[in-house]
Each structure stands twice: as C-alpha cells, then as structure tokens.
Amino acid sequence: MNKYPRWKFGLLLVVLILGIVYAFPNLFGENPAVQISPHTGYTVDKAVNQKIVDILTSNKIPYTSISGDNNLLLIRFSNADNQIKANDLIKTAMGDNYTVALNLASATPSFLTDIGANPMKLGLDLQGGVHFLLAIDVDTLIKKRVAGYMRGIGDELRAQHIRYTGLNRTTNNQIVMQFSSSDTMNQASQLITKQYTDLTVQTTDTNGIYQLTALMSPAAIINAQNNAIEQTTSILRNRINALGISEPIVQRQGAERIAVDLPGVQDTARAQEILGGTATLEFHLVDDQHDLAQALSGNVPAGSKIYYSQDGQPVLLKDQVVLTGTSITNATSSYSEDGKPSVNIWLGGGGESNFYKLTGQNIGHGMASVYIETTMTPVLKDGKTVYVPHTTEKVINVATIQSALPNNFQITGLTDANQARDLALLLRAGALPTTITIIEETTVGPSLGKQNINMGIFSVEIGLAVIVLFMIAYYRVFGLVADIALFMNLVLLVAVLSIIGATLTLPGLAGIVLTMGMAVDANVLIFERIREEMRNGMSPHACIEAGYQKALATIVDANVTTLIAALALFGIGTGAVRGFAVTLTLGILISMFTAIMGTRAMVYLIYGRKHHIKKLSIGI
C-alpha cells in the first residue's frame, strides 16, 4: 500500500485555500469611476462631498458609491456613460483647485483587500491606458551646461589670479572673454583647455583686443544629449514606480524623444504632472544688507532678486545659489519637533563642502529654501492642444543659520503633509536634467482591451478543453487527476500574479496558454513510466511508486532548461517580453508543484488506501 505523509496533504490544502482566496478578486472586475484630488492648500471636505452629491442628484446621474478622505474622493458608477457625464459636470464645477479625472476602481470587496487580496493589473493592450511621446529640450540643456562652464571658468581664473576684463555668453552658446594682454589670454587658454576638455578654445588678437572664445565640441554636445536621455529615462521610471504603476514601458525613441506607456491609467492629468514636471530646491542667502522696500519700488540691487513666499510675502535674496537640488541624494517627508510637515534632506551629489563652508561663514544670517517647479500647461494652438512649460519659484521657508549645516538637515515651513510628500517624491526621484514636452498623447480605450481579453480567455479555454479531453481519453482516471491539477495550476498562477502585482499583457496570456500545455508534460512522463512498469509485471502500488520516483529526474531536467530560457528572457528583455517571461517562469514552478505533489496526493486518495488493486485506470 502506498503511503503519503500527512504534512504534504496539509501543505497542499493550505496552498490551495490561499490560492483560491488570492485569485478570487479577479472575478469582480472594475467599476467606472471619477477621481477628485485637491491641489496644494485644498482638501476634499464634507462641503465638497455634499457639492458633488448635489451636482449628481440635480442632473439625475445615478452613482453606486462615494468614498475617500481629505486627499481623494472616488465616485463609482454602474456604466461608462454616467461616468463621462459626471466627469464633465464635476470638472466644470470644481474649477482649477481640484484635479478631476476618469478612473477605474476595483470592485473587490473590502474584506479581501484588507488582507492584501487584489486583482491582477492589466497591461495597455488589455486594460487600455495612455501612451506619451516626450521630447527633451536640448537647447535649454546646452544653455545650462554652458552657463555652468562659464561660472566655473570665472571662479577658476580668479582663484589663479588671472585677470580678465569681460566674461559673457552669446546667444549661440559661446563663452567670450576679453583680456588686457596676450600673456593672460594664453594662460587662460591653457587652463581652460586642461580643465574643461569638452570645450574648444580659440584666441584672437585684433588691434590690441585680446579675446578668447570657448564653445562645446560637437562630440561633447552629442554626449550631453545622450546622457540627458538616459538620465531622463531613469528618472521617469522612478517617478512612474512611485505612482504604483507596474510594468511601465519607458524607452528611447530617436535622438531626442522618449516613449512612455502607462497601462490602466485614466488620470492623464496626474500622469502629465508627474512626467512633465521638474521640481528642485535652491538655497539662497537672504540679502539683509539692502532695503526690501526700495527693491520693491524697482531699485533691485545688483546680485539680488525678489522672490515671494507661499503666502505672497516678498523676500529679497542673493542670486548666488548656495546649494542646488542635484546635490540631494534622498528626501523623506516627516514632521518637525513642533508637529508641522517637513522634509528631511540628505546630501551626497556634490557641493556639500562648499555648502558647509558658506553656511559656516554666514552664521546669524538668513537662508531661504526656494522651491522651483516646472509643470506642463495645456494650451490650445492652431486647433491642437500643446503643452508648454510653466516655471514657478516660491520661498518655502526662511531660517537663520545657527551653525554650519552638515550633509543631512530638515526643511520646515511647508503648508501641509501633501506638499511635503510630493516634494520628497520629486526630489527623491530626481530633478530632470532639462524640460521635457509632451508632443503626443494617445489614449487606448478599454473596448479594444476587452476584445483582447475575450480573445485571450477564449484561447485559454480552447487550450484547456483540448488538453482536458485528451488526458481523460488517453489516461482515464489518471488523466482526470492531471486535469484537476491543471485547474489548480491555473488558480495558483493567477493568485501569484495577483500577489506580486504583476501586469498581465497579451504576451503574458500567451505565456499562460503555453504553461497550460507544459503543465501536463510532467504528468505524461509519470503516467508513461507507470505504464512501462505495469508492462514489466509490477504490482499497481509498485508501479505508482516507481512512476513518481523514476520520472522525477527527467521532469526536473526538462523544466530547468525551460526555466533558464525564461529567466534569460526576463533579464534581457523589456516590456512585453518580460511579461511573457514572468508568466512562463511562474507557470513552470507552479506546474512542477501541482504535477508532482498535487497529483501524487490525489492518486493516493484514490488508490493508496486500497490493499488489493488488480488494475489501474490509466489507459492502454
């Protein structure tokens, strides 16, 4: 009589129950919804909630539920028509202080979501979503780079006591310097050529006017452009991951463009804000040597500039930047000792020593944190909507320097926790090296996705039906056992994909179909081995034991080779290829579990407890 350990039955039972629970949310689908989120300084309070209810009631638009908190309000509808009507009315009523966007809300009951049981995320080809084509502003990038070179050259020449009579930047990004003698000009030329290898230097001597011209070489411009594309692509991936979007596709397209696919996203306004916006900090010393009132009257002192705080109060700051956001390596939102929102800053990107030195030299003076944000604003031009960058600068706090600031410090004076969280997110993800412009936006409707889903499910059903009928016809009872294990394999695969938050795409569905075919391979090997032992005259119990033991090595070898190929696809591929590799890898691992342990347990329940068996129902 065959024996099978009880702990294995317990393990199978636990795994199967968990698989059913975590696969179950995929049966509920999603509800059309309208999402309302407030801008900085606003909340979604009871008055806003009542206003929404009044709008929907007066226009006779039925809704299924309204839920949310001060930061987000979600209104669910039974169909897309009511969703679109409500979205237009609410957007008009709420104005510019709130973001109103279409969304798809999961219909999974709360008792499942409370234990982390959520449905799988669907890709752009299945769920619909948004495709963006972004262009980076190369001209601004080069201007910033040349401006940095110009500041560095001026500082270096002064440090070396090389006098110059003029230092300017032309409109075509050339650095032009004038000198009083050829000796100083040649000294400057040698220093710049040695220190700044990206610059090409030319000197001229015309009627006693000594001039040096430096400009970026073509190779340096191309290198800067490529680096900007790579950095922007990496930063966009970080920002998208912070939004909670799985399996996004962010890839370079051409010399100056980046393609971004965001599956399942209907809140295009939020996506545009995160993708197109740049946010960073600049720290400036307060100009307390000049009168603010005179500066406001138009007499702004040289080397200073008027900024405004969040409540509209003017502040006179020095132009010199003590530290920029590029030096920030990490930022987290928290609360200060007085319970107000704050952002903890860690430095490590360069400039820390100069920051420590300058703050040490200005103890007792004020230093302001200037928040600089660039957002993409939609503008109607020639009948088309284009997005233009809009930069805002505001002082978020002014503090008196008490001591030289180290590599980590805290920014306070923020209005609310949302602002602190958004600021930390953008600083942590990184400031874009230059402005990006959305030149193309395509929304993939969910109707096409439904058709793809139906076709994918139909292919899975056809594949399952053929496999099930073949296994029953060819292997009888053992074939039925393999079919039950196959369904168990599908349930567990869906459950694991849901737990890890994987995004299911059409290639992923293809991987599932392939997995269904491969899942019975192990059982075929086992069953054929049992048949062979029966032909050799062994007893039924011995045949079962020998079939599972002797086929194990072959099963492992066959699946490991396929697993290596799937892991290679995952490591090398991107987007759809990785989606296929994920489902194939998980399918192989789960099929080995269900085909070996699952079927073995069921065969034991059928035959294992019978002492005398004359024949096994395993076909001819």
Report domain extents, the chain. Answer: 6-25+445-608, 30-107, 139-220, 277-442
Number of Cβ within 10 Å of residue 112's Cβ equals: 17
- Residue 244 pLDDT class (50, 70, 90 cuts): very low
pLDDT at 101: 72
> Which of 3.40.50.2000, 3.40.50.920, 3.30.70.260, 1.25.50.10 would CATH assign to domain 30-107?
3.30.70.260
pLDDT at 273: 61
More confident residue, 309 or 4: 309
- Per-residue 3-state assignment (H helix, E strand, C coil) for 312-363: CCEEEEEEEEEEEHHHEEEEEEEECCCCCEEEEEEECCCCHHHHHHHHHHCC
Would you say residue 17 has pLDDT above 90? yes
Report the chain's terminal Cα–Cα distance, integer Å: 23
Query: Which residues are within 8 A (CB) of 226 and not within 5 positions of it... i.e. 6 or more apart?
Result: none
Upper half-sphere CA count for residue 389 (Cβ side, 13 Å): 20
pLDDT at 316: 93
Strand order, beta sheet including 30-38: 65-69, 72-76, 30-38, 98-106
More confident residue, 212 or 372: 212
Average pLDDT of span 444-458: 68
pLDDT at 425: 63
* pTM (two decimals): 0.59
Mean model confidence pLDDT for the chain: 80
Parallel/antiparallel/unpaired status of strands 121-122 and 503-504:
parallel
pLDDT digits (tens, 9 = 90+) for 576-614: 677 788 888 998 889 888 888 888 888 888 887 776 777
Q: Which of 10-14, 227-231, 443-447, 526-530 is least confident? A: 443-447
CB 507 within 8 A of CB 576: yes
pLDDT digits (tens, 9 = 90+) for 135-165: 888 887 788 778 778 877 887 888 788 888 8
Q: What span, in angstroms and rounded, lies between the C-alpha atoms of 496 and 475? A: 29
User: Using N-to-C axis directions, what is the helix angle for 521-535 and 552-572, rounded to 10°?
Assistant: 160
pLDDT at 496: 92
pLDDT at 460: 76
Q: What span, in angstroms and rounded, lies between the C-alpha atoms of 273 and 436? A: 11
Ramachandran area for residue 317 (φ above 0: left; ψ -120 to 50: alpha; else beta): beta
- Residue 493 pLDDT class (50, 70, 90 cuts): very high
Would you say residue 389 has pLDDT above 80? no
Average pLDDT of span 243-251: 61
pLDDT at 319: 86
- Identify the architecture of domain 139-220 in CATH: Alpha-Beta Complex (3.90)
Would you say residue 243 has pLDDT above 60? no
pLDDT digits (tens, 9 = 90+) for 411-448: 776 667 776 776 676 556 555 667 777 777 777 665 55
Write down the CATH number for the domain with range 277-442.
Answer: 3.30.1360.200
Average pLDDT of span 103-124: 81
- Residue 377 pLDDT class (50, 70, 90 cuts): low
* Phi, psi angles (nearest 5°) of residue 516: -60, -40
**Helices and strands: H and E segment counts in the chain:** 19, 22
Average pLDDT of span 187-205: 88
CB 517 within 8 A of CB 132: no
Would you say residue 127 has pLDDT above 80? no
Average pLDDT of span 492-509: 85
Would you say residue 14 has pLDDT above 90? yes
CB 322 within 8 A of CB 355: yes
pLDDT digits (tens, 9 = 90+) for 309-337: 877 889 999 988 888 776 776 777 888 87
CB 122 within 8 A of CB 264: yes
Place of tokens 């979501």: 113
Write down the CATH number for the domain with range 6-25+445-608.
Answer: 1.20.1640.10
DSSP conformation letters of 133-158: EEEE-HHHHHHHHHHHHHHHHHHHHH
Beta strands in 402-491 (DSSP E): 408-411, 436-444
Q: Give per-residue burial for 257-270: e unless 16+ CB within 10 Å, then b.
A: bbbbbbbbbbbbbb
